[in-house]
Amino acid sequence: MTPVRPWTPARFLPALGGWCALAAQFLPAGQPLRVALAAAFLLAGPGAAAVDWARPVPWPSRGPDRLSAAGLMVALSVAFAVLTAEALFFTGSFGAARAVLVLAVLTTVLTLLPRHLPPRPLHSLHRLHRLHRLHRGRDRRPDGRPPVRWRLLTVATVLALSAACGATGGNAGTTGSGSGTGSVFAPSAPAAAPSAPLPVGADQPPSTGPWHSVFRDDFNGSGLDHGSWATCYDWNDGGCTNAGNQEDQWYLPSQVSVADGKLTLTAERRATTGSDGKTYPWTSGMVSTGRDQWDGTPRKTFTYGYFAAAIKTTGQAAGMFPAFWLLPAGTRGGLPELDIAEFINTDHYADLNLHAEAPDGTNIDAHYSHGPVDFSSGYHVFGLDWEPDAVTWYVDGVQVFQVTDPSVIPDVPMELILDLAVGYHQSPPADVDRAQVGVDWVAVWQH
């Protein structure tokens, strides 16, 4: 019978590290313990479990042999992490916690797999022992140390380079399927570098037919154009909030400013009592083409068209939720909803969403997360082409996502909104008291 290597507590350490790293994801973003546990697991856990499962002999106990094994372990861990991230990224479901969960499960499976020792005939043991004694001196370098296992180091280097290539070149486009929403188009070109100028045409609608401008604001005046913009949702009553998201801010007009050719939305840690009687720890700003109050008339609504804005995000991501989106004018909220770009506690990924309701009342969600790009380092153009048979998202003039199921595409007038929400999913760190979002221009074209 094939001998099986005995179980030891040390064999469970990589899997235990994975589940500890996953539990740490519930800590606030940037918390040192969360970062340390995740980094330690991602650099060592999956590779350690893989090497331990594959090796037929115990870990080397000294010098370069142990260094070679450690290099292979780290290279495998990095490769597993990159492949997992790319798989989640291409399916539009990337998230740090989700990636750690996948790797923790993989590490646990590798840990639980049986380790079979290679059979070795009894009559050969004495001969092997003699050969080992005969060649023991020959296997050492002049300084008495064992030789470096160059083959293992070569394998580790190749794996590390492969992982690096995958991380930098992993934007090849594929076609998949959204959550009940038909075809989805994933990126076919790398995201623009943060410091690169915007591509030619990024500030124009795509070449999908003749267009004419129906709305534009370059914010070149000395103040907000109140003929174009309200500073709250349609349920404005001395300010407003989005109670459904349990956000930390109360929106007020004072947090919206126009100067130097840009619109600025400012969130400040300042306790404000809303007209609903609740006290909100933050005050922030938003603009909408909707109503001044519930019974008012929307300033401007849109059914189909190309919507675009040049936006610079906060630079202080934790606890902040800037968004550029479309909300139904008739129902004053609810579904359907088109999120041209949302930045939920991040400056490096833009969430692009279509939310709708199926005939049976169930929710339909098509989602794609575009990045990583440092969207706080400069202005980037986020665009959405809303047609009766397709909704297509663009970032800096490049198509990145598409939904092509007409049955879920909105066909109702919608209001255009830019806001800076606070405290969605997590509140800002205690040492953060202020954040701003800049908007260089907003425009809408229609056929």
The domain spanning residue 433 has which CATH number?
2.60.120.200
| 135 and 214 part of one domain | no
| 180 and 37 part of one domain | no
CA-CA distance, 323 to 229, in Å (whole number)? Answer: 16
CA-CA distance, 398 to 393, in Å (whole number)? Answer: 8
| 268 and 387 part of one domain | yes
CA-CA distance, 14 to 4, in Å (whole number)? Answer: 20
- Residue pair 25/38 in contact (Cβ under 8 Å)? The answer is yes
Task: Note down pLDDT in tens along the chain; length 447 residues.
Answer: 555 556 667 777 888 888 998 888 777 555 688 788 888 988 888 888 887 776 655 555 555 566 777 777 788 888 888 888 777 666 545 567 778 888 989 888 887 877 655 555 544 444 434 434 434 444 444 444 444 444 444 544 544 454 444 443 333 333 333 333 334 443 433 344 434 555 556 788 988 779 999 999 999 999 999 999 999 999 999 999 999 899 999 999 999 999 999 999 999 999 999 999 999 999 999 999 999 999 999 999 999 999 999 999 999 999 999 999 999 999 888 899 999 999 999 999 999 999 998 888 889 999 999 999 999 999 999 999 999 999 999 999 999 999 999 999 999 999 999 999 999 999 999 999 999 999 999 999 999
Confirm whether 2 is domain-assigned. Answer: no
Two structure tokens written together for 252: 């007020």
| pTM of the shown model | 0.60
| 224 and 155 part of one domain | no
Q: Which residues neighbour 250 within 8 Å (Cβ) at sequence distance 6 or greater?
A: 239, 240, 241, 272, 273, 274, 280, 282, 283, 284
Domain end marker among 137, 152, 168 = 168
| 58 and 189 part of one domain | no
Confirm whether 434 is domain-assigned. Answer: yes
What is the tally of structural domains in the chain?
A: 2
Confirm whether 267 is domain-assigned. Answer: yes
| 264 and 190 part of one domain | yes
| 158 and 182 part of one domain | no
CA-CA distance, 288 to 296, in Å (whole number)? Answer: 13
CA-CA distance, 186 to 171, in Å (whole number)? Answer: 9
Confirm whether 439 is domain-assigned. Answer: yes
- Cα maximum dimension of the chain: 96
| 235 and 133 part of one domain | no
| 272 and 417 part of one domain | yes
Confirm whether 190 is domain-assigned. Answer: yes
| 404 and 324 part of one domain | yes
Domain hosting 161: range is 9-119+129-168
pLDDT at residue 55 in the model = 62
Confirm whether 1 is domain-assigned. Answer: no
Confirm whether 160 is domain-assigned. Answer: yes
Residue 78 CB: number of other CB atoms within 10 A? 23
| 154 and 181 part of one domain | no
Two structure tokens written together for 389: 């048979």
Provide the pairing of β-strand 282-284 with 249-251.
parallel
CA-CA distance, 119 to 122, in Å (whole number)? Answer: 9
pLDDT at residue 126 in the model = 45
Confirm whether 374 is domain-assigned. Answer: yes
Q: How far is CA 403 from CA 172, 339, 385, in A?
A: 18, 13, 11
29 exposed, middle or buried (CB, 10 Å; 0-12, 13-18, 19+)?
Answer: middle
Two structure tokens written together for 65: 């042999």
pLDDT at residue 116 in the model = 56
What length does the chain have?
447
| 56 and 161 part of one domain | yes
pLDDT at residue 257 in the model = 98
